Chain A
Amino acid sequence: MASIEVRELSKTYRVARKEPGLLGTLRHFFRRSYSDIQAVKGISFTIEPGEVVGFLGPNGAGKTTALKMLTGLIHPSSGTVRVAGYTPFDRSAAFLQQITLVMGQKQQLIWDLPALDSMRINAAVYRIDRSEFQARLEELSSMLGVADHLRQPVRKLSLGERMKVELMAALLHRPSILFLDEPTLGLDVNAQSAVREFLRQYNARYNATILLTSHYMADITALCRRVLVIHHGKLMYDGKLDHLVERFAPYREVTLELNQGVSEEVLSQYGEIESVEGCEVRLIVRRENLTPTVVRLLRDLDVQDLTVAEPPIEPIIGRLFEQGIES
């Protein structure tokens, strides 16, 4: 059975419109005009147990709305969702025992008390008995390296420590399906990689399914082999991350170190010039032309060194969101 199965899922919001200014406010108070916003438009996909899938899209693409429908927080306008065999919006206890939602910008821990107090409440709510609770506490706190922080009031923790402790509280009931909405938001590089490493371990240890949104591409490239790209509420791409790069950025970056300077006019015959700094030149070359171009470069020019690299993923995704994807 698939972990997550989504068919033709849509969500339409009704939003009140208000003109600026006093007159607009008055008019808004007496007679509201509404317009419908389609946040998610007929998306379909299936995720198997143990998969780690990245959910990509610019702000307002519909990611969070989709996650909320998958966790049963909001009711779909149309379409069907099955998660772990359940219909999320019923929010049956058996379903809720199997999932978790972590939101980078919201917190569930009690601000003024040590995290341990919040976790004891979670243990009671999820029916985890005392010895099991202790065992999981030790396991998770050693995986995350937060054993020292569980007895301090949450408000005294740094952002990175708090996020790790939040993750711990969210995973105490050992869910098999994790929905993570920007879990590394605002964290420094070290804390980000610690969270990533933890998620990788958790996935490997419990064969947990993870659906993750992040604005940090490093999270996605480190954890996800498969990505879903959503734009304007539509699913634009579903497949391997590598293929996404191949398909939307079928280029290679060729870096040359020349023994003598060559005019840009000459260089532009070989590919698109990305930069020229003295004798160091970067060219963008279409993948299918790569071999003949490299042969020509080596033959025609006085080359000291030549390297071929994949272009960095971040600008590709950025360009993708800007232009939209024309499949």
Chain B
Amino acid sequence: MGDVLVFAEHQAGHFSKATLVAVNAGIELAKKRGGGKCIAVIAGENLDGPAGELARYGMSKVIALDDPKLAHYLADLYAQALSALAKSLGAEYVLATATAMGKDLMPRVAARMGAPMASEIVSIGGDGTLVRPLYAGNALATVEMDGPIKVVSVRATAFDSAKPGDSAAPVEKAKPELDPAGLKMQFVSFNEIKSDRPQLTEARIVVSGGRGLKSGENFKTVLEPLVDEMGAAMGASRAAVDAGFVPNDLQVGQTGKVVAPELYVAVGISGAIQHLAGMKDSKTIVAINKDEEAPIFNVADYGLVADLFKAVPEMVEALKKVKHS
């Protein structure tokens, strides 16, 4: 009893910090549920390399669902493969990180198994209860699930990621159970938004811009020099994304990405609760806003009331000086 099956998402054989968070949370959950095993599963094609890589992260086994049909992620197909595996293993939990893929896939897995699901948990209680935020993070709910099998997604910022060790877990290849009649979705294309900057959810520093930037052009000429001077990832408020200043995958908030970097700099962002939901667990928060009443100042460790078009270029210069001193 108490085995945890972790779905380990990978990008072309590479495991992000977010995936390794699921592995760590899976190991913790298995421990707290009476010492069950934590088993990781990866799906795709030509998995020998990535499966071996994953095996160093402390779980008791890695299962590779290797099949050309799984080369591209599709919700219906992956839900079939994952739920069939969970059932055959008799796992008590199926767990993944709440990335875009995790959010898309895991409820489908839960429904296929008739299992309940807790989304975006932020902690695991000793008694098998889980804690998850509701109402844009304004309430924390302690939830309990019944049934032989349960599905969980984990908020990436709430747990550490697993660390590689010296020993490697055994890797097992398994043939996925796929019902050809159940394959109804077709992958057409993926339009990647390329960036040389660190990933938003993995960066040590995040600099985000809001409607106060006024245009996409200003994001480029005013904000980006600061982002790059700090070696940061760039984020944005919903208002900035909706206005088309920056791509959608930069949105931080309740319905965007949740980040918790060491330093979060909010520039021209008012601080609506939906935005705070995505960044208020950052270690240090800086806000630059010309309105001294802006709610962002209620969560900022350091607030600067100023016109961003003056303050941001000044900050770039000041940072250069610090670097050279």
- Are chains A and B native binding partners rather than an unrelated pairing? no
Interface of B with A (CB < 8 Å)? none
